Chain A
Amino acid sequence: MTEPKNRDVQPYDEEVQQPGPKRKGERLFSLLIVGTLLLNFPLLSIFSSKRLVCGFPVLFLYIFLIWGLIIGTIVFVLRNRPVSTSGPAEPRKDEDH
């Protein structure tokens, strides 16, 4: 029963018209490239060692750190920024959609 309501489609994306999202897209794609480089040969081979750092295998530590860093960056880039300077505009935005 809720289906028609949920299925409502906005004719076009208002966010596309704001100046921010293009920046957002650039940042996200850069993150994809940087992340892919960090988690690949040859950088991985630097950490391919049996050494333990703080009690963890260095490779294990490196990968999970980078992993967490990527997640943190996604949160940062996609953080819910109010478009206008006034605070209360934010909750209203969701209703508009």
Chain B
Amino acid sequence: MLQQWIILLVSFGYLGLLFAVAYYGDKRADAGRSIISNPYIYTFSIAVYCTGWTFYGSVGRAASTGVGFLPIYLGPTLAATVWWIVLRKIIRLSKINNITSIADFIASRYGKSSVIGGLVTVISIVGIMPYIALQLKAISSSFNVLFHHNMKNIGQPGAGHDTALYVALVLAVFSILFGTRHIDVTERHEGMVAAIAFESMVKLLAFSAVGIFVTFTMFDGPADLFRRAASAPETEHLMTMTSLPGGYASWIALTFISMTAILFLPRQFQILVVENVNEKHVRTASWLFPLYLLAINLFVLPIAFAGLMFFHAGTVEADMLVLSLPLIAGEEALALFVFIGGLSAATGMVIVETIALSTMLCNDLLMPVLLRLKLLRRADVGRTLLFMRRGGILLILLLGYLYFRLIGESYALVTIGLVSFAAAAQFAPAILLGIYWKGASRRGALAGLAGGFAIWAYTLLLPSFARSGWIPMSFVEPGPFGIFELGPYHLFNLAGFDPITHSVFWSMLFNIGLLVGVSLFGRQEALDQLQAAMFVDVYKKRVADTSNAPLWHGKTRVSDLKELVTRMIGPERAEAAFRSYALRHSLELRDGSLADESLIAFAERELAGTVGAASARVMVSSIIEGEALSIEGLMKVLDETSQVIEYSHRLEQKSRELEAATSELKRTNERLKELDRMKDEFVSTVSHELRTPLTSIRAFSEILQDDADMDPQQRQQLLRIVVKETERLTRLVNQVLDFTKIDSGSYQWVHEKLDLRNVLQEASAATSQLSLNKNILITRDAPQGPVLVCGDKDRLVQVMINLLSNAIKYGSPDTGKVHIKLSSAGEEAMIAVIDNGIGVEPGERERIFERYHQLGDLSKSKPQGTGLGLAICKTIIENHNGRIWVEDNQWNGASFVFTLPLLADKDKCSQPPGQDKEQIEK
């Protein structure tokens, strides 16, 4: 005899054990030695898919449809074949974006739209409501079966209402304890995952135990069981496909919705994606999870057949056969274990589902609204969040209870569950198209989800209300307002399907049709486009890099950002997060300074991990001044072509730079060649110049040596020539030395105050003999007063002598004339040497001041100078801060002009101009 207190004690004892497992999981996680970071724990936690529906409902369904319970498990098996491709991509995306729920994921993909997030949340809560009702029904029914067994009213309906309410309340408390224990709200719950994995093992063991018991104890193995079933009238029709209501179409529809349900039921998404520790675990889960499903379904048909053969039709609720069989055999301990297995299956689902849904309710529905209304300004947002989540869990369970009260009696477990599956299937197009097709737009997703949800509600939810009496039955049959074509079970006259298949067909048609159609014919907004590119191309390195792209353009302070994050995730975690960011980017975050784009993006991602992408976006934009979305950031990700264009731009610019550098190099090379040529010429000129006097000196000296008795007059003449040639040689060597000295900067400048008139005087005197020789007239024009400058007198005289001797050299004998003009204008003294010689070609005027440059064609005539004279002049004048140039004059000759800065009377020539530090130090 099972007393009520024993059942309750064992139940609560089991829940306590679960709590201990969860507590241990959390402790290990806090210590950094996660127990759930393990592919097997991950796989077992995925088995939260098998709920009270699987545990009790499968047998119930098998008892009426044979293999009809199987599509629910074959679908996930088929889906698992591509997990490695699809699920892994979803996990990767979720980790990059700190995704907290399926609503968050879809909202994130479609431009972080809070409208989409809200819609997905509403669909989830309304859609999952029947599913939670199913668990309440399973637990309360099983409890009643167990409890009332000895009272001989097995499976009597109607006794479960109060039990279900208590169950709901206990589960609410339990879920709150599991999911929202901490004040810091995070999306991951290691302890919960550990407990769920544990529950999955318990339910598999319990179900297998009863299966083995029935097959091998009540019958002599499977062969005996099936042989007897094949000949029993209650079971023989269940051996084929003919017992399946809706036939093959239903089979296909169920396979399809369970394929989507395994990924897109909110709790499956929570476990598979959000709680995933390492995406490598998908590898093991891909085969181990289908194996789990196979194992837990192995004994469904034997139990169902055995149940049908043992109990007369109608005496026992088919859904409770799992429990009734051990009871009828008197195995109360086994029955209690089975009850615990069923409790495991149902509580596991309720815990994960309510936590997932309350996270969505809080992050994607309440938060955006509160943010919009600016109701969330208080400092302790973390506690508000926690409160909202706890309230959410309670609310969802009470909604489930309400639905149970409404329709609980009129449906079998599986039928209730399928309604929820069909709702979860609505997410499939938005997610699957969203991660593989960039064109899927926010408006398209919104239209598709809304359309699919509306059809689902119309064809499945409303009829279930009608059965409960809320809506008159005439709404279902023949249809609203008596219009048959609008009947929810044969919409637009589509007949021949069972209600689920019918609903799946229409809702998918509208869902996919609207999503694709609106996307194709509408426009995508910027952020939408950006997220689309990021989601589809997540594996490409470039896009992965730009997940941190500076998308924020506005300004905000580091302290503001920090405060915002602190309010959401608590001071310790916020501090740690910012510190690790600063470390990673090796920079110092000062509170007062402006936050850069990548820091803002980082803060947004941190927030998204707590409140969801859409809310995080609203929050961050609330403290950002200026434009929220940077166009550069957008372009960076969006337009692949823009990258190519930018690249080719850069290439073009580079090639232009290269061209410029090449021509510059060419010019320099030309110049170098020219200089080299000039130097060669100079060397040959100098050698020539040196050789000429040397030759004559040698020749005359030899004559003097050989001819001892030469007439003294002739001897004297020869000696004069020798002396003159020696002087020329000395002059030449001096010039070369001077030039090298000045040019190399080692010349010791003497600076004194001097009158330029004296310079002219001296230079004219020095060249008077030359001019007399060629009979060239030199005239002079100078002001009355002194023209004072600061300079090296000897050098300035040298400049004048050079210029004068050039003028005489290039002047024609007898007719040549040279005029020297000294004037002062403003702050400059100007001296011009004007001749009527051969003049200087305009093209040569710059170059004659270059060293080694000779006037005239060297190949035709003998050079007349060293090519250094004017270069020396230029160096000297520039050293005095003056300028020198050549110009035309009225005599068709050349005018060499130079200027020097004037010195006022009273000024001293202490700091001579043009003398640089180096020379002072010397």
Contacts and interface: CB of A to CB of B under 8 A. Distances in A.
Taking residues whose C-beta sits less than 8 angstroms from the other chain, chain B's interface range is 35 or more
Contact of A40 (B85, B226, B251): B251
Interface stretch (B105-113, B275-283, B507-515): B275-283
A71 B77 contact: yes
A31 B74 CA distance: 13
Interface string A52-78: 101111011001100110111111001
Given A55-B226, A70-B81, A94-B280, A60 B539 contact: no
B239 A59 contact: yes
B287 A9 contact: no
B95 A9 contact: yes
A2 B38 CA distance: 14
- Considering residues A13, A40, A74, which has the most beta carbons from chain B within 10 angstroms of its beta carbon? A74
Contacts of B66: 59
A23 interface: no
B545 A11 contact: yes
B526 interface: no
A44 B244 CA distance: 12
B75 to A, nearest CB: 9
Given A52-B226, A80-B283, A41 B248 contact: yes
Interface stretch (B29-37, B437-445, B613-621): B29-37
Contacts of A97: 278, 280
Contacts of B34: 2, 6
B737 interface: no
Interface string B895-911: 00000000000000000
A44 B286 CA distance: 24
Given A78-B283, A97-B280, A55 B223 contact: yes
Interface in B527-541: 539-541
A24 to B, nearest CB: 7
A7 interface: yes
B544 interface: yes
B643 interface: no
Contacts of A28: 81-82, 84-85
A45 B67 CA distance: 12
A45 to B, nearest CB: 6
A67 B241 CA distance: 17
B535 to A, nearest CB: 14
A36 B78 contact: yes
A39 B241 CA distance: 12
A12 B255 contact: no
Interface stretch (B290-298, B387-395, B741-749): B290-298
Nearest to A93: B280
A: interface residue count bin: 35 or more
Nearest to B28: A2
B544 A40 contact: no
Nearest to B186: A3
Given A60-B67, A71-B294, A41 B252 contact: yes
B324 to A, nearest CB: 22
A50 B539 contact: no
A6 B283 CA distance: 17
Interface in B228-283: 230, 236, 239-242, 248, 251-252, 255, 277-278, 280, 283
Interface string B62-91: 000011001000100110111011000000
A74 B226 contact: no
A91 interface: no
Contact of A55 (B80, B227, B278, B280): B227
A1 B239 contact: no
A40 B248 contact: yes
A73 B77 CA distance: 12
Given A6-B277, A13-B539, A56 B226 contact: yes
A85 B82 CA distance: 27
B520 interface: no
B301 interface: yes
Given A32-B81, A40-B248, A45-B241, A74 B230 contact: no
A47 B283 CA distance: 32
Contacts of A50: 230, 236, 239-240
B582 interface: no
A74 B287 contact: yes
B188 interface: yes
A75 B188 CA distance: 29
B92 interface: yes
A28 B223 CA distance: 35
Given A60-B301, A97-B278, A70 B77 contact: yes
A74 B286 contact: yes
Contacts of B283: 78, 80
Interface in A1-55: 1-7, 9, 11-13, 16, 24-25, 28-29, 31-32, 35-36, 39-41, 44-45, 48-50, 52, 54-55
A57 B230 contact: yes
A11 B248 contact: no
Nearest to B283: A78
A59 B240 contact: yes
Nearest to B187: A3
B441 to A, nearest CB: 26
A42 to B, nearest CB: 8
A5 B31 CA distance: 13
A16 B77 CA distance: 25
A78 B248 contact: no
A90 to B, nearest CB: 12
B290 A67 contact: yes
Nearest to A54: B223
A16 to B, nearest CB: 5
A75 B498 CA distance: 36
A31 B81 contact: yes
Which of B78, B96, B241, B576: most chain A CB closer than 10 A?
B78
Contacts of B92: 9, 13
Interface string B186-230: 101010000000000000000000000000000001111011001
Given A24-B84, A70-B81, A2 B539 contact: no
Contacts of B29: 1-2
Given A9-B95, A60-B67, A74 B37 contact: no
B642 interface: no
Nearest to A26: B85
Given A7-B95, A9-B96, A67 B240 contact: no
A7 B32 CA distance: 13
Contacts of B248: 40-41, 44-45
A6 B32 CA distance: 10
Interface string B562-589: 0000000000000011001000000000
A44 to B, nearest CB: 6
B301 A16 contact: no
Nearest to A61: B226
A56 B305 CA distance: 12
Contacts of A32: 78, 81-82
A95 to B, nearest CB: 11
Contacts of B74: 39, 63, 67
Contact of A49 (B33, B240, B255): B240
Contacts of A29: 81-82, 85
A80 B85 CA distance: 16
Interface string B534-557: 000001110011000000000000
26 contacts: A1-B31, A2-B190, A3-B188, A6-B34, A9-B95, A11-B541, A32-B81, A32-B82, A36-B255, A39-B255, A41-B252, A44-B241, A44-B248, A50-B230, A50-B240, A55-B221, A55-B227, A56-B226, A59-B240, A60-B67, A63-B67, A64-B294, A64-B298, A70-B290, A72-B287, A78-B283
Given A1-B30, A4-B580, A64-B298, 19 more contacts: A1-B29, A4-B576, A6-B278, A7-B95, A9-B95, A12-B539, A12-B541, A25-B85, A28-B84, A29-B81, A32-B82, A35-B81, A39-B74, A39-B78, A40-B252, A50-B230, A56-B226, A57-B239, A75-B287
Closest 9 CB pairs of A and B: A55-B223, A41-B248, A48-B241, A12-B541, A74-B287, A48-B240, A11-B544, A75-B287, A32-B81
